[in-house]
Amino acid sequence: MTTETARTGAHARVATSLQLSGISYVLSRALLDGIDLELRAGELTAVSGPSGSGKTTLLSIAGGLVEPTTGTATFGDRPMWQGTGDPRPEVAFVLQVYGLVPILSARENVSVALRARGVGPREADERAEAALARFHISDLGDRQVEELSGGQMQRVACARGLVVGAGVLLADEPTSELDEGNRMLVLTELRAEAERGAVVVVATHDPAVVDLCDTHYVLDEGRLVDHVEEVHLTGRSRPVQLPRHAAPAEPAVPAEPEPEVLPEPPHPEHPGLHDEPHHEPLHEPLHEPLHESQHRAADEGPDDTDDTDDVNAAFRRPGP
Ligand SMILES: Nc1ncnc2c1ncn2[C@@H]1O[C@H](COP(=O)(O)OP(=O)(O)O)[C@@H](O)[C@H]1O
Ligand SMILES: [Mg+2]
C-alpha cells in the first residue's frame, strides 16, 4: 500500500468490524440505550426505525463524531471517538442533510473530501469526476451545488462519501430524495463499497433499501428491537433476532409526533447532523467532519416524510 492510500484509506481492504459495545447516549433523556452491535466489513447493514428513534445519533457515535455517554465504538481495536469530534480518516459519511458547500461546484464538493485527506488537486479532481460518473452525474460537475435539485445534491453527497474509499462508510438516509432507478444505483454502489471490504451502514426508512441489505437492525426509542417481519419480505437481508434483554421493556408506544407538528426549531447552535426539530436543548455538540462543515438549510430537506407514518407503522414492533 502506498503512503497515500494508507493515509486516505483508498482501496484499503479491511476485514475488520465496527463494534459498538454498551453504547448509551444521554442528554436530558436517553437517546440511545444498551446498544451492542457488530457492523461487519464486507456487508451492507441497514438501520431502520421511526423518525426520532436514534438512527442519526447511532451513526454519529459509530463514526466518532459524538462521544457516547457509556460504551465504546471500536474499529480495528481502536476507539472511534478521538476526543475531538473529528472522525478517523478511514471513516466517511453521507449525511442526511448532505453537508454540501452551496457555492462550490459538484466536482469541488467531492474533491474537497480527498483534499482534506492530503490528495493533490489533480488526482482529487480526477477521482471526483470518476465518483460523479458512478452516480451518472458527470454532466453536473461544473454546476454550483445550490443550482441542483435535491435528488442531484443527494447523489453528489453519495459521490463525496464514496470517493475516499473509506474503510467505514456511514450513509444516513442516502436515498430519501431519489426515484427508484437512482435508489438502485446508490444501493449498487454501496454494495460495491462493501465488496471491496468496507463496513457499510445505511440508515433508512425505506423497506426496499432494507431488503437489499445483508443485515438489518431496528431502533425504537433509542433501543434495538427485534426485527419486524412485515418489512422484510423477499430480499437478502438477514433478520437479526436480538437476545431477550435487548427488547424494549414495554410495548411499543405510538409514534412520536412528526417534525412538522413540533413547535421547536432545530437547536440554533448545534444543528449537528440532524435535520429535524428537537424536543430539548443539546448539551453536547454533535460534531461534523471537518470537510463537511457547511450544511444546507434543514427546510430543504427530504421530501420522504410523506409516507413516514406508514413506514413507521411497518417498522414498529407489535406489542408482546
Ligand atoms: N441536538 C439535539 N438535542 C436534543 N435532542 C436531540 C438532538 N438531536 C436529536 N435529538 C433527539 O434524539 C432523538 C433521536 O434523534 P435522531 O438520532 O436524529 O433520530 P432519527 O435519525 O432516527 O430520526 C430524537 O428524539 C431527537 O428529538
Ligand atoms: Mg436521522
Residue 270 CB less than 6 A away from ligand 1: yes
Residue 310 CB less than 6 A away from ligand 1: no
Would you state the pLDDT for residue 237? 54
The pLDDT-based confidence of 30 (bands split at 50, 70, 90) is very high
Would you state the pLDDT for residue 288? 36
Ligand nearest to the CA of 171: 2
Would you state the pLDDT for residue 50? 94
Which ligand 1 atom is nearest residue 266's CA? Answer: 1
Which ligand 1 atom is nearest residue 278's CA? Answer: 27
Higher pLDDT, 269 or 70: 70
Higher pLDDT, 22 or 315: 22
Would you state the pLDDT for residue 269? 33
Residue 27 CB less than 6 A away from ligand 1: yes
Burial status of residue 313 (CB atoms within 10 A of its CB: 0-12, 13-18, 19 or more): middle
Pocket test for ligand 1, best of 173, 274, 305, 316 (most atoms within 8 A of CB): 274
Residue 278 CB less than 6 A away from ligand 1: yes
Would you state the pLDDT for residue 111? 97
Would you state the pLDDT for residue 25? 98
Instruction: Examine the pLDDT at 225 and tell me if it is beyond 90.
Output: yes
Separation of 240 CA from ligand 1 center, angstroms?
Answer: 24
Classify each residue of 23-44 as buried b or exposed e, where b means 16 or more C-beta atoms within 10 Å of its C-beta: bbbeeeebbbbbbebebbbbbb
Q: What is the pLDDT of residues 226-281, one digit of tens each?
A: 754 344 444 455 555 454 333 333 333 443 433 333 333 333 333 344 443 333 33
Would you state the pLDDT for residue 96? 87
Residue 49 CB less than 6 A away from ligand 1: yes
Mean pLDDT (whole number) for 28-53: 96
**Nearest CA among 223, 309, 220 for reference residue 260:** 309
Residue 272 CB less than 6 A away from ligand 1: yes
Mean pLDDT (whole number) for 16-38: 96
Q: Reply yes or no on domain 3-104+149-245+271-315 having CATH 3.30.420.40.
A: no
Residue 266 CB less than 6 A away from ligand 1: no
The pLDDT-based confidence of 97 (bands split at 50, 70, 90) is confident
Residue 277 CB less than 6 A away from ligand 1: no
Q: Domain spans of the chain?
A: 3-104+149-245+271-315
Q: What is the pLDDT of residues 122-145, one digit of tens each?
A: 999 999 999 999 999 999 999 999
Q: Nearest 5 degrees, angle CA 87-CA 92-CA 96?
A: 100
Higher pLDDT, 177 or 266: 177
Would you state the pLDDT for residue 15? 58
Separation of 136 CA from ligand 2 center, angstroms?
Answer: 26
Separation of 54 CA from ligand 1 center, angstroms?
Answer: 6
Would you state the pLDDT for residue 227? 56
In DSSP notation, 66-124 reads S--SEEEEEETTEES--SSSPPPTTEEEE-TT----TTSBHHHHHHHHHHTTT--HHHH
* Protein residue whose Cα sits closest to atom 18 of ligand 1: 56
Q: What are phi and psi of 253, to 5 degrees?
A: -105, 165
Ligand nearest to the CA of 278: 1
Tally of CB atoms within 10 A around 255: 17
Would you state the pLDDT for residue 16? 86
Residue 223 CB less than 6 A away from ligand 1: no
Would you state the pLDDT for residue 9? 46
